Amino acid sequence: MIEERANENPPPTRACHDIAHFIAALNGRLEWDYMQEINHLCEFNAVAIECLLTYCSHSVKSGAVPEHEQQAQSFFDHMKWFSEDYYKIPKRHPSGKQSAQLIHKFADTVNPQILSSYFGIFYEVWSIENIVGGPEFDVTVNMTSDISSKFPRIEAMLRSQLHKLNQLLANQLSSQ
């Protein structure tokens, strides 16, 4: 059972990022609770979900076919920067995990079907953020585990992105 959580005060992050935390919670098996004292992995997972769903959002908005190999490399580079330079997970988190380990665990654990089920909520808020041009707007989102939205195109995009990411990770490991 997932606990009920309400943000009484606006969080310091963008709404899409906050939604990504809740999608991680609904995914199961991913750390998500940003209120933990040691929340490095929760933030990593939220940023990873936000990144993948943002790629999908750009594709839907533009109508363009995504270049999954390029996105996999961009995702890898961004998450490596986030984990090593921004959040310094290898140095500051008790696990000491390196970026490739974190990315690999995320890619193996995240469920594209669940991400695609909540894509509609993410996309609506992402669109508002982009139209408004920032985080200054009021929004209320009710996310429950019984959502029945289906976005087969998004799920296929996510599966392809994760497949290319796993290939990239395999190539990285074999070249070391």
Residue 8 banded pLDDT, cuts 50, 70, 90:
low
Q: Which domain holds residue 133?
A: 15-174
**Residue 37: CB partners within 8 Å, gap ≥ 6?**
none
In a domain, 114, yes or no: yes
Within a domain: residue 75?
yes
| Structural domains in the chain (count) | 1
Q: Flag whether 104 is in a domain.
A: yes
**Burial letters for 134-146: b for 16+ Cβ neighbours within 10 Å, e otherwise?**
ebeeeeeeeeeee
Residue 1 lies inside a defined structural domain of this protein: no
CB proximity list for 57: less than 8 A, separation 6 or greater: 122, 123, 126, 127
Evaluate whether residue 5 is within a structural domain: no
Neighbouring residues of 146: CB distance < 8 A, sequence distance ≥ 6: none
Q: State the pTM of this model.
A: 0.89
Question: Which pLDDT band holds residue 9 (cuts at 50, 70, 90)?
Answer: low
88 domain residue, yes or no: yes
* Residue of 73, 82, 71 whose CA lies nearest to 171: 73
At 110-143, the pLDDT tens digits run 999 999 999 999 999 999 988 987 767 777 777 7
67 located within any domain = yes
Burial 42-67 (b: 16+ CB within 10 A, else e): bbbbbbbbbbbbbbbbebbeeeeebe
Give me 81's structure tokens: 């920067």
User: Is 23 part of any domain?
Assistant: yes
Sign for the CA dihedral angle at 77, 79, 80, 82 comes to positive
